[in-house]
């Protein structure tokens, strides 16, 4: 580790220890390319795909959560480990503290319902609208999935169009297909 990297790490740890950090983040490699993981003191707040532009995502977090953002791995070690286990078929679900501060209203209600869709299974946008008590809110379910700040961890990729089509996905349709294909092999 270079001296500059050591200084950055020390700064991040001191800021966290003194309660001066709004968001910690780190980058991890995955079969979908690099992912940005971000967390607040309350839990994981964001998973972002490279195609979103990590600088853009960090700017958005600064505007919505707080400007004190530093690269800091420790609070995201469990998330990184669990994602690696998921991608290597050793995990079907995530056991992480989550911070849902980036969502509200019906979007949040839908996103809170997503983890109930079992690994390897899918539902339609219409079925999810029915399950959340708003059968006419099919488009709103689509919007909630499209704006899910915690993709993969909160499995919006398991929601499909009524005709079986993939629909959209924040990480791209190819990423959605990879995740659905991955889940055809049971964890073990």
Q: Answer for the pair 146, 109: CB distance below 8 angstroms, yes or no.
A: no
For the chain, how far is it from start to end, CA to CA, in angstroms? 35
DSSP 149: S
Which residues of the chain register pLDDT less than 70?
A: 15-16
Give the pLDDT score at 7. Answer: 72
Check if 156 is active-site. Answer: yes
Residue pLDDT, tens place only, 158-186 = 999 999 899 889 999 999 999 999 999 88
Task: Report pLDDT for 102.
Answer: 98
A 10 A CB-CB count for 187 gives 15
At 23, list the tokens: 């968001």
How far is 113 from 129, CA to CA, in rounded Å? Answer: 10
Among residues 39, 65, 156, 170, the one annotated as catalytic is: 156
Interhelix angle 138-146/105-113, nearest 10 degrees: 80
Where do the domains of the chain lie, and which CATH numbers do they carry?
3-87 (3.30.160), 105-182 (1.10.10.10)
Residue 39 CB neighbours (<10 A): 24
pLDDT at residue number 15: 65
């Amino acid at each position: 580790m270079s001296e500059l990297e050591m200084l950055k790490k020390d700064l991040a740890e001191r800021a966290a220890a003194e309660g001066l950090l709004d968001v910690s983040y780190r980058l991890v490699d995955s079969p979908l390319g690099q992912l940005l993981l971000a967390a607040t003191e309350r839990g994981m707040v964001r998973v972002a795909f490279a195609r979103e532009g990590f600088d853009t995502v960090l700017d958005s977090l600064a505007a919505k959560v707080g400007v004190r953002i530093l690269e800091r791995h420790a609070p995201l070690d469990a998330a990184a480990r669990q994602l690696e286990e998921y991608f290597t078929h050793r995990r079907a679900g995530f056991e992480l503290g989550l911070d849902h501060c980036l969502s509200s209203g019906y979007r949040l209600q839908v996103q809170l319902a997503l983890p109930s869709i079992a690994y390897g299974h899918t539902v339609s946008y219409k079925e999810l609208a029915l399950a959340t008590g708003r059968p006419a809110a099919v488009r709103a379910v689509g919007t909630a999935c499209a704006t899910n700040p915690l993709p993969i961890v909160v499995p919006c990729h398991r929601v499909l169009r009524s005709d079986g089509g993939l629909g959209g996905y924040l990480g791209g349709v190819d990423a959605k297909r990879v995740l659905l294909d991955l889940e055809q092999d049971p964890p073990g």
